Amino acid sequence: MCLGLYILGRGRQTILGYHNEVFSHPTGGHINKTDKLSFSNQEPRRQEQVMEVFKSLIFLLSFQLLHVAKSSMVWLNENGYEDLVVAINPQVPEDANIILNTMNMIKNASNYLFEMTKHRFFFKSVKIIIPKTWKKNTNYSRLKTESYDKADVIIADPYMTHVDDPYTLHYRGCKEKGQYIHFTPNFLLNDSLTNVYGEKGRVFVHEWAHFWWGVFDEYSSDMPFYVSRNSEEASVEATSCPAGVTGIPVFQDCSGDKCEPRICRYDGQLYEKGCIFIPDIQQNTSFSVMYLQLPSVVEFCDKNTHNSEAPNMQNKICNHKSTWEVIMESDDFRNSAVINASAPPSETTFTLLQTQTRAVALVLDVSGSMSMLIAEKMTTTCGSEIVLLTDGEDPRIATCLDLVKQSAATIHTIALGPLASKELERFSKLTGGLNLYAVDGAVPSKLIETFSAITSRSGDICEQSIQLESKDLVVQHSGWMNTTVPVDKTVGNDTFFHIAWSLSQPFFFLRDPKGKEYGSSDFTTSNSNPNTARLSISGTAEVGDWQFCIKNVHTATQTISVTATSRPAYSDVPPVRIAAHMNRANKAFNPVVVYAEVSQGFLPVLGATVIATIEKDGAGAVTLELLDNGTGADTMKDDGIYSRYFTSLQGTGRYRLKVNAHGRNTTTRLSLKQNRALYIPGYRVNGKIYMNAPRPKFADKEIQVKLGSFSRISTSSLVVNTAGDSAPIYPPCEVTDLHARIENKTIVLSWTAPGGDFDNGKADHYIIKSSKNLLDLRNHFDRATSLNSSNLIPKEAGREESFKIKPENFIIENNTIIYFAIRAVDDTNLISEVSNIAQATWFIPPKAPVPLDDDGNNDGANSTVIVAIVGLCVVVVCTIVSSSLCVLQKQKRRLDIEKMQKHV
């Protein structure tokens, strides 16, 4: 798609907007014929600076770069959720049944949600975005502020071949909202998948609870069984909610395509690896929707039914609270009441929208009078986007907020420097746009990076350009700046290299992976923008490292910057991309968390080196390495989400984030998403087992693929109010990966060290407690039994800690289960939250159960006990009979024995 832009000059504002007549721009983009550009009454330096970056902005908008941050527009209206947005990916082939089945799924989900939330919530209105690749239809309305990138539900091809797991991308904490829900077209069209995932409406409620209320799965693929103390003696139970779900542990013995089920064998304290739990269709209690989606699912687990022992993500992330307790703490619950009716008060309504050609207007305001401009232009902007760049205050900005809200336009705001209006972000918040911030600099690289966050919002990968590199450096006279830009196999089309300097043109050349060199004469410069040069690579750029060699030949020190962008090499191979953002966590001290999602399509990319740089005017830049290790700020390990707490706040103001992700030859992709609906292996009905088709298995090349070397850049911004200019003081972060095991009757604890300030630095000491009751330890940590850890000196954040507990501290015998938790203390006596609770178990399992019979029946442990009792009785009877035979005559012994044996 070509993006048409035109320029309107009006006093001290400059507007670029959509127009029909297009001509080529020397940079390789497209702009329109323009009206006269006016910069009257501007300060000379500001006028020169605006002109300097002006063409770069046109180039970037026409090229449409990178990723837009996610922000849902759903709101609760009289117990009904309004404006839920479902978007179909442009690469999905047209099929009207996708729309029809989606509508039916959400209609059914509305009824289930109403029942499961005890007559409180339902879905009131839904918008479905049809891609522009589908045929036009008079029933489709025009998009306003809705877009694919902001959709709550995405319908797209699976992230792995033959994998149709519905899932929710959620990488924040308990009670915090997710990014989006993902369904595949096959899940919506193939009714046979109901057998393995459950009824579609129930599955939707499962995913909605992930997405909207921040609750987590109550099953566990990693630990499908655990040792439980719900009864007087320890026993192996299925990881479920509620506890005591009936069923049978089964192992599939497979030879080729043929599989024979058998009862699982014990391997240590638990069942062998590969053992799966087959639930009974008929249960004495109802399942939780966050466990399974069977017909008996009618509720969420509450305080009374919650299985606090189960080793699932809900217990780990939500501190062993039930899903219903978490939902009850939400704003929705507090601001609503029970509806006295047996069904939702209204059916779900649907609006069909179709993506259209994108129209973007760029407004450059350096006068502080943007309100007048916005008021004039808001009458003709339905469905379009406005990028508003300003560096000044405007006390009248609040007067046009209502008009902006009614305009049906999306406004992205860019604050340039520290003096931009404090209310600027209200425009983007009202319209669902981006709020961005650019630090003033000697070269335009930071402003170019900021504009790179504004992208095509249709979901079409062919329209997305990727920023490969952006680097600026202060270079001494005769000094060199050498930069390597890797071009990986997922990109290479429309590749541009851009160099800028603050004083005079340096000597430079670019060398491709095959040794071909491009000198300064091969780059394009412009008289109107003499401090920049750019090179367009024809065709598809060579895969490999491109070397930029630059020498400052000016007599003085100057700033030099290099940027590189490219597009996907193939229409059917998604590129590696990165999406970065910051937000304040919904927890004590409200710390700022930096996130970066590194992915290829919907697949998480592991093993990348991810570096975040946070800047604020008047303060030094802070650099952090983001981690995907499941500790500290990172919720889940190996999900492609790299995270870290940012603890170096420098008072109230705007903060700018830049994240650079580098991958080398060891970088791999992961196969399965987390927060997904459970693939149900089978059912047991009246004692007979019915197995579903096994989950598809993948070759190693599908599960882990070397992506080679790559580099990606993403930017974001955050406005922080610290309620004062003093830097906040933070405690250590909570330990989230505490583990306990028993080795030779010695208990060993292990965990990842937290920092002194959340996950930075190191703690001063630890407080370790134990209890035989999990909830007592959670609720009354201070009263629990203390362990002497005075000799344990905390390590730097991120390093592995271990602690051995001597045998004399505990009596370890069969059926022993002890719970442990830990808190870290910093040098100012600030204390972390209580860690996850670890369980140390000494359990000798019973003898192996008998095999399944021909019908797949087995009564489990009860059958084993019955067989053992019957066998014992037979032995006793035979002993009595044998003793009696001793008093009989020898000549009659054989006959009498035979008679007794026949009798028995």
What's the rounded Cα separation, in Å, for the pair 34 and 200?
Answer: 52
CA dihedral 270, 276, 281, 282 (to 10 degrees): -10
In whole angstroms, give the CA distance from residue 282 to residue 685.
7
Residue 902: partners with Cβ closer than 8 Å, 6 or more residues away:
none
Which three-class secondary structure state does DSSP give residue 876? helix
CA distances, 441 to each of 422, 436, 492, 528, 548 (Å): 21, 16, 30, 19, 22
Measure the CA–CA gap between 805 and 140, rounded to whole angstroms.
67
d(CA 725, CA 721) in angstroms, rounded, equals 9
Q: Which residue is listed with tokens 């340096």?
A: 506
Give the tokens for residue 336. 């609503």
SS3 for 683? strand
Q: How far is Cα 284 from Cα 246, in angstroms, rounded to an integer?
A: 8
Q: Which residues contact 32 (CB under 8 A, 6 or more apart)?
A: 4, 5, 6, 19, 20, 21, 22, 23
The DSSP result for 762-815, as a single string, is B-SEEEEEEES-HHHHHH-GGGSEEE--TT----BTTSEEEEEE-GGGS---TT
Structure-token match 């995913």, residue found: 207
Catalytic residue among 52, 115, 207, 218: 207
Any catalytic annotation for residue 207? yes
Residue in the structure block whose two tokens are 């067989």: 867
Identify the bridge partners of residue 600 per DSSP, sorted by sequence position: 576, 603
Residue type, 510: L
Phi, psi at 647, each rounded to 5°: -110, 5
What's the CA gap between 719 and 885, in Å, rounded? 96
Query: % helix / strand / coil in the chain, to the nearest 5?
Result: 20, 35, 45
In this structure, the chain runs to a length of: 904
Distance CA 366, CA 377 (A): 17
Those residues whose C-beta lies under 8 Å from the C-beta of residue 839, and which sit 6 or more positions away, are 226, 227, 309, 311, 740, 774, 817, 818, 819, 820
- The number of C-alpha atoms within 13 Å of 667 and in the hemisphere containing its C-beta is 24
Omega into 242 within 30° of 0, i.e. cis?
A: yes
- Helix (H) / strand (E) element for 76: namely strand 75-77
How far is it, in rounded angstroms, from Cα 168 to Cα 146? 20
* SS (HEC) of 236-275: EEECCCCCCCCEEEEEEEEECCEEEEEECCEECCEECCCC
What does the block give as tokens for 758? 């959340």
Strand 125-130 and strand 349-354: pairing? Answer: parallel
Strands lying side by side in the sheet with 765-771: 785-787, 765-771, 816-825, 838-842
Kindly state the helix (H) or strand (E) to which residue 153 belongs, with its residue range: strand 153-155
**Quick one: three-class SS letters along 14-35?**
EEEECCCCEEECCCCCEEECCC
Question: In angstroms, rounded to a whole number, what is the distance separating the alpha carbons of residues 213 and 329?
Answer: 9
**Distances from the Cα of 352 to the Cα of 46, 97, 384, angstroms:** 46, 14, 18
Catalytic amino acids? 207
